[in-house]
């Protein structure tokens, strides 16, 4: 409806202006055979320039009105029609590099995360902070974590994490601990799968469990991340991964 109203308003100068000029240039009040000068006198203008009193002014006025109408119609309707039917759209500015970036934003790219425990209570054998730490610039989607105790070969947790967007995701609750912990943590997300080895040893005199952890990539061999607490090495020796 709005398009029809807009088109009607655009047509007003031609629909009204052109017929009026043609009428005034071809009809006089007395006998329907006049010129613009007679109409000027009729409307109260007693003094008119010589060029307007010239009989040729009628023909010039009609020709000018028609030419201006054609120009107006071309500007109002011709240019939009040209762009609609013939003008070529601008080529897309999207480059292969930007497509790759979009793909990484959607899938997670090379980002990964790992499982960590903090704020230990040696008396109760618990960790009060359960944290998922993200590495990489892209968000992770549809993340699932499965924690397996390598000593008992049983799963101790299977958690659907969903989206991990910030640097870290803190989970609610506490985590029960043994004196010696050897975990293998399996992760799956939209960008693939990887796993983590997490070793914890109770150190009563320091009131915490020093940790050693490493993350292996999707191929199961490439080390993506490794961090070993110096206290772990000094008290228990170098970590023996996967045992």
pLDDT digits (tens, 9 = 90+) for 91-111: 656 677 788 888 888 889 999
Cβ count near 142 (within 10 Å): 14
Q: Does residue 95 lie in a domain region?
A: no
- Report yes or no: 132 and 157 within 8 Å, Cβ to Cβ: no
Contact 210, 201 (CB under 8 A): yes
Rg (Cα) of the chain, in Å, rounded? 42
The count of domains in the chain is 2
Residue ranges in the chain modelled with pLDDT below 70 = 1-70, 72-94, 243
Looking at the structure, do residues 185 and 221 belong to the same domain, yes or no? yes
Domain that holds residue 18: 2-85
What b/e readout covers 166-194, taking b as 16+ CB neighbours within 10 angstroms? eeebeeeebbebeeebbbbbebebebeeb
237 CB-near residues (< 8 Å, 6+ apart): none
User: Is residue 94 in some structural domain?
Assistant: no
User: Are residue 144 and residue 77 in the same domain, yes or no?
Assistant: no
Closest CA relative to residue 174, chosen from 124, 212, 210, 232: 124
pLDDT of residue 100: 86
Query: Is pTM, for the whole model, over 0.75?
Result: no
């Amino acid at each position: 409806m709005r398009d029809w109203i807009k088109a009607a308003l655009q047509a007003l100068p031609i629909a009204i202006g052109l017929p009026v000029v043609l009428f005034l240039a071809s009809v006089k009040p007395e006998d329907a055979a006049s010129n613009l000068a007679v109409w000027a006198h009729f409307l109260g203008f007693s003094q008119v320039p010589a060029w307007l009193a010239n009989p040729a002014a009628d023909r010039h006025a009609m020709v000018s009105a028609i030419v201006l109408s054609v120009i107006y119609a071309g500007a109002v309707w011709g240019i939009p029609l040209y762009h609609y039917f013939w003008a070529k759209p601008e080529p897309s500015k999207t480059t292969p590099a930007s497509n790759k970036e979009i793909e990484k934003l959607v899938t997670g790219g090379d980002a990964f995360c790992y499982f960590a425990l903090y704020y230990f209570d040696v008396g109760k054998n618990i960790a009060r902070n359960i944290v998922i730490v993200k590495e990489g610039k892209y968000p992770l989607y549809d993340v699932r974590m499965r924690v397996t105790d390598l000593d008992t070969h049983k799963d101790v947790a299977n958690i659907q994490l969903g989206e991990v967007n910030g640097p870290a995701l803190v989970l609610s609750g506490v985590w029960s601990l043994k004196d010696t912990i050897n975990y293998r943590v399996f992760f799956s997300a939209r960008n693939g799968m990887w796993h983590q080895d997490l070793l914890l040893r109770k150190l009563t005199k320091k009131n915490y469990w020093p940790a050693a952890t490493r993350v292996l990539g999707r191929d199961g061999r490439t080390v993506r991340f490794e961090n070993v607490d110096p206290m772990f090495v000094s008290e228990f020796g170098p970590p023996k991964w996967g045992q």
